[in-house]
């Protein structure tokens, strides 16, 4: 099997930007899209903060455009998820979907991050029956119904606002007495007539006969004002952040405690020369489409320089 010059794992803004740069540099990159082609942006609604779109765009449109742009310069974009890697030998070995082994002189890891769950048993019990981590994917099923969103960051606010446009009522369950979200998102949430923010509330469990019909919450947990609260809801949405998709690489690639891949200084290189990480899988701080695209670009430039230096 002939090794390829550059393998890109993941197809969000980081992976596809890396593919654009790598293909224009003549590396003939091969991209495997992962479990969620287009990445997390395909699950967001409006994108208003990506430079160059004065009227905004949607996540799906942006990812389709990036896909076309990468394909236009010859990137090979394929279905498939990396299920095993061996980075102890060169060329590096990556197994796709447990079946196909790809050998590559450089690898760009751009596998992004996935939604986090609270870890309560009822999330599993009602999975697909009222519990969701993606308002854009599942909101449609809750038209004119009542739902709850957990979290106080931009994700939770965005989910709540999206659901508020479809649903009769949206509860936003916030564990502290403040929202963490950006000021503009906070304001929109506060201005929405059908969103009720439940500050200082945590979720104990869900109720319902086969499908979610309610949630048991605890207010002011651990204080003398502590009380139990029940809300009637038809859907329960998670918006509490994300976990980096780095597990498969961990035997070889250095990660921090939360699982984010550690890159070297200002570079996108991992602890292994020739292997780079870009986008949310290596970014606990910014996690924006624009910063992901920027690191994808850097990773591809570094891969190209490495290959040139090594005469590969």
Answer whether 291's CB lies under 8 Å from 277's CB. Answer: no
Nearest-angstrom CA–CA distance, 59 and 34 = 17
Nearest-angstrom CA–CA distance, 168 and 281 = 36
Residue of 65, 86, 97, 137 marked catalytic: 137
Binding footprint of ligand NDP, residue count (CB under 6 A): 18
Rg (CA), the chain: 21
Question: Does residue number 155 form part of the binding site for ligand NDP (CB under 6 A)?
Answer: yes
Nearest-angstrom CA–CA distance, 107 and 126 = 38
Here the tokens at position 49 are 């903060």
> Which of the ranges 2-10, 27-35, 238-246, 251-259 carries the binding residues for ligand NDP, by CB under 6 A?
238-246
Binding positions for ligand NDP, 35-54, rule CB under 6 A: 49
Nearest-angstrom CA–CA distance, 46 and 50 = 10
| CA torsion through residues 294, 111, 81, 235, sign | negative
Cα 259 to Cα 1, 109, 308: the distances in Å are 32, 13, 31
How many of the other CB atoms lie within 10 Å of CB of 192?
A: 18
Known catalytic residue at 138: yes
* In the complex, minimum distance from the CB of residue 285 to ligand NDP, in angstroms, rounded to a whole number: 8
* In the complex, minimum distance from the CB of residue 215 to ligand NDP, in angstroms, rounded to a whole number: 12
Question: Does residue number 30 form part of the binding site for ligand NDP (CB under 6 A)?
Answer: no
Question: Does residue number 294 form part of the binding site for ligand NDP (CB under 6 A)?
Answer: no
Question: Does residue number 284 form part of the binding site for ligand NDP (CB under 6 A)?
Answer: no
* In the complex, minimum distance from the CB of residue 167 to ligand NDP, in angstroms, rounded to a whole number: 19
Known catalytic residue at 134: yes
Question: Does residue number 151 form part of the binding site for ligand NDP (CB under 6 A)?
Answer: yes
Question: Does residue number 307 form part of the binding site for ligand NDP (CB under 6 A)?
Answer: no
| Active-site residue set | 134, 137-138
List contacts with ligand NDP (CB under 6 A): 49, 118, 150-156, 158, 175-176, 180, 182, 240-242, 287
């Amino acid at each position: 099997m002939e090794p390829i010059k550059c393998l890109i794992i993941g197809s969000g803004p980081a992976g596809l930007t890396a593919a654009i740069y790598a293909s224009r540099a003549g590396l003939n990159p091969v991209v495997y899209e992962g479990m969620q082609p287009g990445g997390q942006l395909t699950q967001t609604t409006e994108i208003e903060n990506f430079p160059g779109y004065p009227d905004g765009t949607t996540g799906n449109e942006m990812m389709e455009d990036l896909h076309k742009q990468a394909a236009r310069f010859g990137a090979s974009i394929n279905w498939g998820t990396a299920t095993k890697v061996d980075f102890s030998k060169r060329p590096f070995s990556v197994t796709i979907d447990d079946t196909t082994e790809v050998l590559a002189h450089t690898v760009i890891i751009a596998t992004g991050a996935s939604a986090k769950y609270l870890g309560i048993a009822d999330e599993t019990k009602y999975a697909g029956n009222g519990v969701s981590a993606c308002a854009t994917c599942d909101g449609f099923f809750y038209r004119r119904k009542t739902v709850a969103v957990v979290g106080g960051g931009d994700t939770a606010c965005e989910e709540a606002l999206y659901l508020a446009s479809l649903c009769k009522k949206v509860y936003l369950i916030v564990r502290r007495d403040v929202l963490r979200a950006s000021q503009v998102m906070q304001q929109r949430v506060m201005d929405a007539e059908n969103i009720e923010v439940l500050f200082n509330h945590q979720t104990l469990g869900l109720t319902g006969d086969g499908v979610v019909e309610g949630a048991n919450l605890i207010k002011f947990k651990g204080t003398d004002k502590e009380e139990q609260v029940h809300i009637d809801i038809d859907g329960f949405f998670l918006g509490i952040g994300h976990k980096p998709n780095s597990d498969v690489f961990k035997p070889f690639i250095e990660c921090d405690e939360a699982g984010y891949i550690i890159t070297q200084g200002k570079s996108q290189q991992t602890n292994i020369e020739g292997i780079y990480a870009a986008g949310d899988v290596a970014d606990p701080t910014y996690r924006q489409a624009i910063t992901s695209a920027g690191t994808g670009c850097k990773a591809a430039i570094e891969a190209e320089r490495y290959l040139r230096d090594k005469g590969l």
